[in-house]
Homo-oligomer: A and B are copies of this chain.
Amino acid sequence: MDTTHDPQRRSFVASANGHADFPIQNLPLGVFSPAGGRPRGGIAIGDSILDVAAIATLLPEAARPAAAAMAAESLNATLALGTAPLRAALSALLAADSARAEEVRPHLHAAAGCTLHLPARIGDYTDFFAGIHHAFNAGKQFRPDSPLLPNYKYVPVAYHGRASSIRPSGTAVRRPKGQRKRPEETAPSFGACRNLDYELELGIWIGGGNAQGDAVPIAAAPGMIAGYCLLNDWSARDIQAWEAQPLGPFLAKNFCTSISPWIVTPEALAPFRIQQPPRPAGDPAPLDYLLDAADQAGGALDLQLEVLLQTPGGGPFRLSLANARHLYWTPAQLVAHHTVGGCNLSPGDLLGSGTISAPTPDGFGALLEITEGGRKPVILPNGEERRFLKDGDTIIFRARATREGCVPIGFGECRGTILPAT
């Protein structure tokens, strides 16, 4: 019996009890360095981080290999081993009634004094386009009569992104330079991006691997997923508009992608799985390789996603409140599609969901949508206006999973501040 979600379970780490993100029911994995120490794997518990490898010998045997592998500077090996037994063991070890509390305490570090790193070496990063309301809103600006292209409801559309420029929350984001051309200009000019934007996405960490040439069947796809994070796909809209034909976005995206540093596991999110929302009447059924009864019944995530803007003049102000349930495809469908032609995934690969927008403007996941391409500025509560991001602006994403009878969990922040172009 899985007791890790028992709402009565409390931790001897007092700050965990009632913690918005990291109660004992969550236990996400990350890589941290204590002041003056080297990077290592840890789990978040309340306002503390537990050095997991340091307490590996306190764990039952089934959890020990994954725990010991967390001595490394990245979690790739841990993700490959699978973390469900580790999470269950840590839940018992950190519980209020733990017999080993005094042995554990010396290995708890105050999170406020630690630096958080990328949790894994990201081999390849893929960005999907599974937020249908975003696809519609973005498409409408270029094709008012047919915002969604004919392939959208058949193909989980995606493109390869840049792995090297993914950074953990808190890393400042330099405004990129590049070629921009306004429609009325006859030639492009070179300079700082004028239309800098964010995109609210869910990140999906891969824990399994498949051999090149071997597709992962949809029923096996959930087993490939090690966890989730928040992902900000910073986007230079003016650069994108000029460069992206015919091969897709490139410099408009590859200057930086920000992620929240904690890997929230599928086990932690299990109570918040929901039925994949039924497709609107008239939409085609997914092709067979994307269709699985269990995935349709419980493969979507009920996860509230919030975007906040802090300007040098005030805030943070909420820009939108969306939910991962608005994705047109489940995470398992994204994995099955990615591999159906034989592409090999590896532990530590990262997928982005695509921008997640709610159907209504208060839940749109990018300024491109909120301001209709910059035409209608958003007015902030302090009177400031934004069409796109200004230097000094900070974008903050938060996630929260709630369900009656469950202790809510969160993801921690994904935050980035815009620095002026050099």
Chain B residues within 8 Å of A284, by CB? 187
Chain B residues, CB < 8 A from A159: 159-160, 247-248, 250
Q: How many of chain A's residues have a CB under 8 angstroms from any CB in B?
A: 65
A327 within 8 A of B: no
Evaluate contact between B188 and A247: CB separation under 8 angstroms. no
CB distance from A243 to the nearest CB of B (A): 5
- Report the stretch among A85-93, A343-351, A399-407 that lies at the interface: A343-351
* Residue A114 interfacial (CB < 8 Å): no
**Contact call A341/B160, Cβ cutoff below 8 A:** no
User: Would you call B254 and A343 a contact (CB within 8 A)?
Assistant: yes
Contact B242 A155 (CB under 8 A): yes
**Complex CA distance for A149 and B248, rounded to whole angstroms:** 13
Measured between beta carbons, the chain B residues less than 8 angstroms from A174 are: 212-213, 342
Q: Give the chain B neighbours of A124 by CB distance below 8 A.
A: 162-164
Q: Which residues of B contact A254 (CB under 8 A)?
A: 160, 341, 343
A74 to B337, CA, bound (A): 31
- Say whether B239 contacts A341, CB under 8 Å: yes
Contact check, A245 vs B151: say whether CB atoms are below 8 A apart: yes
Given contacts A160-B161, A162-B124, A341-B254, contact A155 B179 (CB under 8 A): yes
Q: A167 contacts the other chain (Cβ, under 8 Å)?
A: yes
A157 on the B face (CB < 8 A): yes
Does chain B have a CB within 8 A of A46? no
Q: CB of A129 within 8 A of chain B?
A: yes
Q: CA A126 – CA B159 in complex, angstroms?
A: 12
Q: Which residues of B contact A181 (CB under 8 A)?
A: 151
* A256 contacts B by Cβ under 8 Å: yes
Residue contact A251 to B341, C-beta cutoff 8 Å: yes
A343 to B157, CA, bound (A): 24
194-249 of chain A: CB within 8 A of chain B? 212-215, 236, 239, 242-249
In the assembled complex, 9 residue pairs joining A and B whose CB atoms fall closer than 8 Å, in A order, are A174-B342, A212-B255, A214-B422, A215-B422, A246-B248, A251-B337, A251-B340, A251-B341, A255-B343
Q: Let me know if A177 is at the binding interface, CB within 8 A.
A: yes
* A15 in the interface (beta carbon within 8 A): no
Would you list which residues of chain A between 1 and 47 have a CB under 8 Å from chain B? none
B residues less than 8 Å from A126 (CB atoms): 250
Decide yes or no whether A287 CB sits under 8 A from chain B: yes
Give A245 to B342 CA distance when docked, in angstroms.
Answer: 21
> Which chain B residue lies CB-closest to A176?
B341
Contacting pair B287 A164 (CB below 8 A): no
A343 adjacent to B251 (CB under 8 Å):
yes
Q: Is the pair B243, A157 in contact by a Cβ cutoff of 8 Å?
A: yes
